[in-house]
Amino acid sequence: MKVAVAGAGVMGAGIALSSIQAGYQTLLFDVSETALEKGKAYIRKELEKSVEKGKTTTDKASQTLTLLTAVNKTADMKADIIIEAVLENLEIKQELFKQLETVNSPETILATNTSSIPITQIARSLQYPNRVVGVHFFNPAHIMKLVEIISGAETDCNVAQKAFEWAESLGKKAVYAADAPGFIVNRVARHYYVEGLKILEEQVANLESIDRLCEASGFKMGPFRLMDLIGVDTNYSVTSSMFSLFGNDAKFRPSRIQKQKVDAGHHGRKSGQGFYRYED
């Protein structure tokens, strides 16, 4: 099986890394050469970390890297399963899949890593909506074990099963989820971010204290550190999407503090500044 990943950001690069570590020939696509270089550098760095920790050897890491090919043209994105990890925007995802349909077999699985957009909406304008399935990884994708498999209204059950089996072959724990707003994890976890931001807005505590409290309670990362890792802009987009999908229910209201961060370009680790500053 040949795999292709669209989007060379942290999430896309992490998915591509998981794929090559499982032995799959994998294409990594982005329209930006700069993004592609950053994506490849991220993958190399993570493989080097694995060598340093004794989880793999230098030779094995080098062999793994040979399975990766970077491309910047959609015409080169020919694979058995293609997973997009581009911006959390319905029109962008639909347009990408429309282009990919023209250069791939009707049997190619088109998987979306969307965090919140209904699979049915993404698939509805395509020639083969039955080939579209949600395959939702969590950041960092090469470390986090959970993957949600989401079927839209027209997703072929065999497509969902193949996506499930592929995710499991990466060493992940795949679970089936219904095509509902936020699926399982983001519906549950959204309030981890939203309530953290409300506490900050209401000046109950500063963000460092909120993070420390959550981490002392057993969470690996506080909400603000986690938003910086995921991407403040991505997190804001998901919250905005869910706010709309739930009929502007106040409990999903996006934060003005987060919106200001996005407007300022403070997108987290990837931009060097989010709720915290990062040297590297």
Residue 176: its H or E element: strand 173-177
Point out the catalytic residue in the list 18, 104, 113, 115: 115
Nearest CA-CA partner of 135 in 69, 85, 80:
85
Whether 84 is catalytic: no
Point out the catalytic residue in the list 136, 142, 266, 267: 136
| DSSP bridge partners of 26 | 3, 68
Cα-based torsion angle of the residue sequence 42, 43, 48, 54 in order, rounded to the nearest 10 degrees: 130
Whether 266 is catalytic: no
**Orientation angle between helical segments 185-201 and 256-263, nearest 10 degrees:** 90
> 254: which 2 tokens?
């996006």
Please report the DSSP string for 10-29 in residue order: HHHHHHHHHHHHTT-EEEEE
Provide Rg for the chain, Cα atoms. 19
Whether 136 is catalytic: yes
Whether 139 is catalytic: no
Point out the catalytic residue in the list 88, 104, 142, 148: 148
Dihedral sign, CA of 159, 163, 169, 173?
negative
Point out the catalytic residue in the list 130, 186, 237, 241: 186
In angstroms, the CA 40 to CA 277 distance is: 23
Residues identified as active-site:
115, 136, 148, 186
